[in-house]
């Protein structure tokens, strides 16, 4: 991914203060297993409450300035979410999305000028999900450092993406402006990542998280008309997995148990 090496070098001393989630983490684990991964150009970053300090925040603003990010936006209305895009420097990530559970978010002292995210634009559903203690706990408990970068493991990515699919699907049904591609992205990523699970070593999750995962799975019975599209996406380029729809459903249902 363009810009990832630059990001890693800049934050090499700050790995205890954040974790990478979303597409870049999914891409890392799938490529490591020689499976087809969805390309991404965004970095989704969760600021860890327990590791928050001024040093990380100073380094973050230095990175934003050095990359020359032209669009610098922040959310309002209770969600703490920042979006930076269109860097002038070509070797920086195309977009940074940063999430924080702290109501005051980042210290904006010394930050470049920020603008509000327009009210009509979608604010990532992850910004709301991560305010939930159960889901933040999933993130905090499933971090693994890989070549100097703290990554959320598949066991953490799957519940987040399943819940994001639920939220986006419900918002679309309510008439909100949700991009259908984002819904399909989270759906397919859940099943992609299921190929990396080991049912013999189930993951303990809060009851609410398992209930959300089962809600997600209920929408995709083995005879669902969505399965041909899912399997085609997983098999693209000849590097897809060999699991059937039934296999993936069985793995996902058995791999997560209530704490």
DSSP 156-217: HHHHHHHHHHHHHHHHHHTT----HHHHHHHHHHHHHHHTT--TTSPEEE-HHHHHHHHHHH
User: What span, in angstroms and rounded, lies between the C-alpha atoms of 63 and 135?
Assistant: 28
SS3 20: strand
φ and ψ at residue 116, rounded to 5 degrees? -65, 145
Domain count, the chain: 1
Q: What contacts 201, CB < 8 A, 6 or more positions away?
A: none
How confident is the model over 129-150, as pLDDT tens digits?
887 889 999 999 999 999 999 9
> CB–CB of 97/81 below 8 Å?
yes
User: What span, in angstroms and rounded, lies between the C-alpha atoms of 229 and 45?
Assistant: 29
205 - beta bridge partners? 258
Q: What contacts 70, CB < 8 A, 6 or more positions away?
A: 85, 86, 87, 88
pLDDT tier at 100, thresholds 50, 70, 90: confident
- The mean pLDDT value of the chain amounts to 87
Q: DSSP string covering 179-194, please? A: -HHHHHHHHHHHHHHH
pTM of the shown model? 0.90
> CB–CB of 27/81 below 8 Å?
no
> CB–CB of 84/96 below 8 Å?
yes
Structural domain range at position 251: 4-258
- What is the pLDDT at residue 120? 46
The number of residues in the chain equals 259
How confident is the model over 215-256, as pLDDT tens digits?
999 999 999 999 999 999 888 745 556 689 999 999 999 999
47 - beta bridge partners? 18, 100
- What is the pLDDT at residue 36? 86
> CB–CB of 158/213 below 8 Å?
yes
**Maximum separation of any 2 CA atoms in the chain, in Å:** 55
Return the number of other C-beta atoms located less than 10 Å from residue 133's C-beta.
Answer: 11
pLDDT tier at 106, thresholds 50, 70, 90: low
Pairing of strands 95-100, 42-47: parallel
- What is the pLDDT at residue 197? 94
């Amino acid at each position: 991914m363009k810009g990832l090496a630059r990001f890693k070098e800049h934050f090499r001393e700050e790995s205890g203060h954040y974790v990478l989630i979303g597409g870049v983490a999914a891409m890392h684990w799938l490529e490591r297993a020689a499976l087809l991964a969805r390309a991404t150009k965004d970095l989704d970053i969760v600021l860890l409450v327990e590791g928050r300090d001024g040093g990380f925040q100073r380094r973050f603003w230095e990175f934003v300035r050095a990359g020359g990010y032209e669009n610098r936006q922040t959310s309002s209305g209770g969600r703490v979410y920042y979006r930076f895009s269109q860097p002038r420097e070509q070797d920086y990530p195309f977009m940074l999305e940063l999430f924080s559970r702290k109501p005051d978010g980042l210290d904006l002292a010394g930050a470049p000028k920020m603008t509000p995210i327009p009210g009509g634009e979608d604010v990532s559903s992850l910004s709301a999900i991560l305010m939930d203690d159960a889901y933040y706990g999933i993130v905090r408990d499933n971090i693994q450092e890989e070549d100097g970068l703290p990554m959320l493991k598949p066991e953490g990515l799957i519940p987040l993406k399943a819940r994001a699919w639920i939220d986006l699907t419900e918002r679309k049904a309510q008439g909100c402006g949700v991009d259908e591609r984002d819904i399909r992205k989270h759906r397919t990523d859940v099943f992609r990542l299921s190929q990396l699970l080991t049912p013999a070593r189930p993951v303990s999750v809060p009851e609410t998280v398992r209930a959300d995962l089962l809600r997600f799975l209920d929408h995709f019975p083995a005879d669902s008309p969505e399965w041909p599209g899912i399997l085609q996406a997983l098999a693209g380029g000849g590097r897809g997995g060999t699991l059937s729809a039934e296999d993936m459903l069985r793995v996902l249902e058995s791999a997560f148990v209530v704490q």
